[in-house]
Amino acid sequence: MNLKIFWQAFMVFLVALFAALSLLTWLKYTEINHKFELSKNFFEKAAEFFVNSISVGYFQWTEMYEALIEQNEEEIHRQFTYLKADFPFIEEIFLQPADVQEHYVFEIFSQDNFLMVHFVVFDSNLERYVSDKIAVAKIDPNGICELFNIENISFDPAGKEFVFGLKAKYAGKLFELSTLVISLLVGLLAGIFKFSLDLRQIYVLHRELNKRYERKLQALQSILTFMEDFLRKEKLLEENEYQLILEEAVKIVPGAEAGSIVLEENGFYVFKAAVGFPLEELRKVKLAPQQLNRQEISDEATIIKNPAAIDKKLLTSDQYEVFLAAGVIEKIKSTLSLPLIVQGKIVGFFNLDNFHDENVFNEESIEIGKLFAGRICLLLERKLFEERIKQEQDTVKKLLDHSLKREFALQCIVDLIQKVLQGGSLNEEQIYNQILETAVKAIPGAQAGSFFLKEENFFVFKATAGYDLEKLKEIKIEIKKEKDYYSKQVQIIKHLPSKNGKTVPLEQLELLRKYGRLDEIKSTLRIPVIVRDEIIGVIHLDNFEGEDAFDNGAIKLGQLFSSIVAVLLNRLELEKLLIKEKELTNNLFKQALRRSAALRKLIDFVQEILQSELPLLEEILLQVLKSAIEVVPGAQAGSLLLIEDHYLVFKTAVGYDLEQLKKVRFDLRKIPGPFDKRAYVARDLAARDSKILSPEELEILRKFGRLDQIKCVLRLPILVGDEPKGLMHLDNFENEDAFDEESLQIGQLFSNIVGVLLYRLQFEKQLREEREKFEHLSYHDSLTQLPNRRYLFEFGSKMLALADRESEKVSLLYMDLKKFKNVNDTFGHAEGDEVLKIVAQRLKELLRKSDLIARVGGDEFVTMAYGTDINGAVELAKRIEQAIEKPIETRLTVHVISANIGIAVFPEDGETLEGLLTKADRAMYYAKINNLAHATTDDLEELL
């Protein structure tokens, strides 16, 4: 009976045992499924946060947008390299053509168990996006798990459905059912009579597992809540958030009763949050890295038992007293220390403390503690990332602001040049005002200004902006008392009132205070105007708000402005001189028509200078080159070469012997390929030039052009339209990387100025040549190149007016060729034209330069001789007859012709050119019908 009862009880026990085993297995599977779902949700949030961070950091930037629009492969490759360096688990990143119809930021899906992300590229304001390309990233999902501390997930194509189309398995260990059953059966056989095995142990184990499960669930739920808040958060991490994270961790992590967070600041570790300790007291302590070395600082979690003994050795006495008073040291039995790692660097520690048990912290504590430490690291990572973005935005903003200011200043200078060069109606005062107004508008920091020019030993006001010019014109600044006016450098001057007190008389100083706001000026930018190495003027730009209103950028713009103004004033002065020369020449022409040929050449020369300005070319080129060397960063010397008959020849140089360099000519035909129109930085010039130049020319460059000393050259082509005209070289002797992008941009401005100058000179030269050609055609016979009837009436009338003022006589001879009609009828008009050319040449050689000869008809010519009476006219007619009657030899035959000449004399035969021509024509006709060589008006009177 007892045996039966025993076996019944034993069977009940077995049933209960297998029931308990089934229950445990079910609980474990339930826990695994729940963890899998939590990991699934956490991974989805983490992946979206990670992808969104990449989109914000790399694909919502104007820099990347413009790189794609402009197809800047180098910039795109550089950005992709930075991205892969920051996140090594990004397997591949590339561009792919696409038709972006909808306005979305990114799209996540999977391919071959990898995450594939399509990024749309926007500008920084999310206003424009690239519509024909997208960026595609291939991402290893295991990297995201590692970044966000997601454990026990194994990505396997044979696994369960995960997120974004991925397949995964949970890698946590299950109870091995067979092992457990065998162990239980062995235990039962070994202790079959120990049925007193208390089932309560199973209950205790189950309860403990439930507690662990609830703690982990609570921690994971907290992390998920944090992730959702984190993704919505726009501000950076606040100080009180450290405290909230720590309080939550102390509640959840097994064994934690207190804790603290320390972060690295400027080489020391400081307390940012504390639970169970007075934070304000702990903030007084700054710990050096070696004072945290309780064991070895590493990236692994550390459990420290009885930390008081270690801290006493590492801390100073003052630090130890603070910790002792705060209860930080003696009460703590065990500390769980978790490093906070951001971008591979330990930036702080997350410490959890227990006051009762040295062994309270276990693997579960470490596991849950890492979740909270990871949460802090993620916040710190975002803080660093957003600070980096802000720094990049500030940098881009500063660069853009600087670029816009420089572009505005240069545009103002270009406008000034155009106004002065094109504004022929502007007087000197208007030009001075234009120069000063442009300077105040273009140079940052300028609020008012004044323009002085040198007159004898004084500088006087010529223009003002913001001041009363009429009152200030009474002031003269003595040069010898103001040494600063001798400086050829652009300067920033502070305390201007004290300086002016030494250079002007007391009464003029009062005018400056009253009408020039002298006592209000905080700082002044002084810009000298230098022409032919002499200071001829000074521009003052004033600021009334701060002593530091002008910076180095203002000085550089001032230097550029100084050179441009110098060229404009030089041009203005030279034009005034040319105008005076022209007036003087015209007066001389009126006084002596007998020297008309020489005077006419002088007038033509003055007009050529006034119109083409060719004599000013080399001087202006030198001025532009000097300015370029002074303004372009990195430039220490330079030269300017122009193309002449397939050769590049030196036109001007600074820092070299120009006369020697002019012996060197670069044959463009020896340079392979077409002329390179790019601006770039060149190095190793000796190797290049040795292929083009002769040994003698190369030696000249080495000796007088310092060829072997040059480290780098800024090569700037000079173009007129798209046609190369020359090169500007800016040289540096110290650094191969002396020229940067800014140097290239400013240098191109100067080469463009030379190009514009050459274009204008070329254009004006063409206009002048066309005008001269037109004038010549309008005043000369196209066949004989003798003056025509228009020329005769215009200059013949002037000759008669001069003769009337000087009481001189003028003889007019009207001639007609005899037998010339037979030449045309017999041999044709081409032969007749050849005869006319020979006759015209004989007449030009016969007459004086002061005499006038013109062809007025087919075979009719008129000669006017100044200062010749009737006797002289008859002698002249005889010489003309002899010259014409000489045999004329052509390609076809020899012709013998003669002439009939009619003579009239001013003023006896007429006081007007028309009257003289009528009388002379009648006399010629008389000679013709009477078969005479010549006849005068007296012969007509005898006939009458």
Distance from C-alpha of 141 to C-alpha of 47, rounded to nearest angstrom = 9
Superfamily of domain 613-765: GAF domain (3.30.450.40)
Query: What pLDDT does 486 receive?
Result: 58
Secondary structure tally for the chain: helices H, strands E: 28, 31
Rounded CA gap, 18 and 13, in Å?
9
The DSSP line for 554-596 is HHHHHHHHHHHHHHHHHHHHHHHHHHHHHHHHHHHHHH-GGGH
What pLDDT sits at residue 558?
A: 82
Closest CA to 555 of 434, 409, 364, 708: 409
- Sequence ranges of the domains in the chain: 33-170, 235-389, 426-578, 613-765, 780-942
Q: Tell whether pTM > 0.95.
A: no
Locate all alpha helices (DSSP H) within 707-851, ordered by sequence. Answer: 741-779, 789-806, 820-827, 829-846
Tens digit of each residue's pLDDT (9 = 90 or more) over 504-532: 677 777 888 888 888 888 888 888 888 87
- CA–CA gap between residue 207 and residue 803 (Å, rounded): 139
What residues have CB less than 8 Å from 190, skipping those under 6 apart? Answer: none
3-class secondary-structure state, position 76: helix
CATH numeric code, 780-942: 3.30.70.270
Q: What is the pLDDT of residues 311-369, one digit of tens each?
A: 666 777 777 777 777 666 677 888 888 888 887 788 888 889 888 888 888 888 888 88
Task: Outline where 59-161 has alpha helix (H).
Answer: 62-69, 73-86, 141-147
**Nearest Cα to Cα of residue 536 among 420, 435, 415, 419:** 435
Where do we find the tokens 């800014």? 742
Alpha carbon distances (Å) from 105 to 48, 58, 121, 232, 286 = 12, 12, 8, 16, 44
Residues (pLDDT < 50) of the chain are 1, 173-206, 209, 213, 230-231, 234-237, 294-295, 591-610, 612
Among 231, 264, 261, 233, residue whose Cα is nearest residue 247: 261
Q: How far is C-alpha 489 from the geometric centre of its chain's CA atoms?
A: 25
- The DSSP-derived string for 832-883 is HHHHHHHHHHHHHHHS-TTSEEEE-SSSEEEEEEET--HHHHHHHHHHHHHH
**Phi and psi (nearest 5°) for 400?**
-65, -40
- Dihedral of CA atoms 431, 436, 442, 445 in degrees, nearest 10, equals 180
Q: Given this model, what pLDDT does residue 808 score? A: 92
Same fold, 613-765 and 780-942: no
Question: Looking at residue 196, what is its pLDDT?
Answer: 39
CATH topology of domain 235-389: Beta-Lactamase (3.30.450)
- Please give the structure tokens belonging to residue 312: 């006493």
Give the domain 426-578 fold.
Beta-Lactamase (3.30.450)
Instruction: Report the C-alpha dihedral over residues 691, 695, 701, 707, rounded to 10 degrees.
Output: 60
